[in-house]
Amino acid sequence: MSAKTCCVTGHRGLPADKIEFVKREMRREILQAIADGYTHFISGFAEGADLIFAAIVAELKQDNKALKLEAAIPYRNRIKSPDKLFQKLIDQCDIVGVHSENYWPGCFDKRNFFMVSVSQRVIAVYDGREKGGTRSTMRYAYSQERELKTISI
């Protein structure tokens, strides 16, 4: 049997007064996923929710060798991000997948749909807006009958 896989979707620009709440709830959801038998975690490595998710999984991996962290990078040059947290976390990934060689308007959707397609559970950090990548990823997860855990902000 293949590993149970969980991915994340969420907003980049999280309100400053919600970051600690998101970190706490994300940790709770990840720990629950581990308790439910999940060992493979995929992050799209965008700012905000994605990097919070990756940081928590990377930390938990130190004491739990069964856990795997995968980076789903939308386009190749994104790996050159100057973000120090991004670079620290990418080095801790077991798998780094690049989903398009070059940037194009649909490359983020392609990455998001990949993550959902290989996951059984999706953790979403969602502020209620009706448009954008988080909402379209949540809709796709729902259409694919994935388990969706929402952290409402």
* Tens-digit pLDDT profile for residues 11-40: 999 999 999 999 999 999 999 999 999 999
Contact at 8 Å (CB) between 55 and 23?
Answer: no
Crossing angle of helices 107-117 and 133-143, in 10° steps, is 30
CATH no. for residue 106? 3.40.50.450
* Tens-digit pLDDT profile for residues 66-97: 999 999 999 999 999 999 999 999 999 999 99
Q: Averaged over 44-71, what is the pLDDT?
A: 97
Based on the structure, what is the number of domains in the chain? 1
Has residue 153 got a pLDDT over 60?
yes
Question: What domain range is 19 assigned to?
Answer: 4-152
pTM (2 d.p.): 0.97
Has residue 1 got a pLDDT over 70?
no
Q: Quick one: what percent of the chain has pLDDT higher than 90? A: 97
Element of type H or E holding 71: strand 68-73
Query: Which pLDDT score is estimated for 118?
Result: 98
